[in-house]
Amino acid sequence: MAQTTPIDNRAAQRTAFVLAGGGSLGAVEVGMLQALLDWGETPAFIVGASAGAINAAYFAADPTRAGADKLEGIWCALKRRDVLPFSLGSMLGMLLRRGHLVDSHALRRLLERNIPYQQLEQAALPVHIVASDMLTGNEVVLSSGSVVDAVLASAAIPGVFPPVRIGGRFLVDGGVANNTPISSAIRLGATRIIVLPTGFACALDRLPTGAIARAIHALSLLVSRQLVHDAERFAGDVTLRIVPNLCPLDVSPYDYSAGRSLIAQSRTRTRQWLETGGLDHAGVPQPLHEHRH
């Protein structure tokens, strides 16, 4: 009897990579991307929110291992001041009721310097950025228009960054409505979704210091809780796989000094997960559930 070649069911599915938010912990998504690409995973499109929107926009310019390596270089050189240049002027601005602590000029410069296309529809890989309508709280998926404005909107933590006005709406962080946008990917036509979560700092021995640090830490906890909920909700609607996040993790999502280490650890952990059949099994990785060390 002639031997038949097994059919790879992945070829018949439309795979989306979904990148969650999580401040500086967004670095772990780079290691995940590298390992997935080495394994032969190539998405039909990518969806990102908050820090995940930054990674998604960068990666969509060159959705290859070389592109992921360039993104690693950006994260390794990144300083907190490149994203969150807090100063005495920031505090005075808050006291003067301007409504936010940090101007987004530094982040805008970072994006403009590193993203080689201007409009979302010009990306080499279709990319969709999730933000939230500040007035209604509704989810807004941006698939065309200025890539820099879209990413700034998706990363605009309320009270920390100013909202971004797009199409007559004031938009803020995607985490307000949908920080791990599984549902967005499904509506966009994905039949197979691989989620790249940032996780959360589960091994901190004390609360982060400062209002911004605490706000970002709280948001990262919210993202993880929502991801667990959404994974259980949509498990029957799509082939859903979640890459395990790092655990234990004692790096605050406000700490931008650990990018190189986070990427290396994440790349190794993801490779181990792939080699042990991770993509063949559904379910939420245990480190995403509530726990303490």
Determine whether 132 is an active site residue. no
Name, in order, each residue with C-beta under 8 angstroms of 110's C-beta and a sequence gap of 6 or more: 78, 82, 83
> Catalytic residue among 103, 133, 149, 173, which?
173
Catalytic residue of the set 24, 50, 220, 224 = 50
Rounded-to-integer distance, Cα 10 and Cα 246, Å: 26
Rounded Cα distance, 250 and 259, in Å? 13
Please write down the long-range contacts of 175-178, taking CB distance under 8 Å and 24 or more positions apart. 175/21, 175/49, 175/50, 175/132, 175/219, 175/222, 175/223, 176/132, 176/134, 176/137, 177/130, 177/131, 177/132, 177/133, 177/137, 177/138, 177/139, 177/140, 178/49, 178/130, 178/132, 178/139, 178/226
- Tell me if residue 50 is catalytic: yes
Which residues are the active-site residues?
Answer: 50, 173
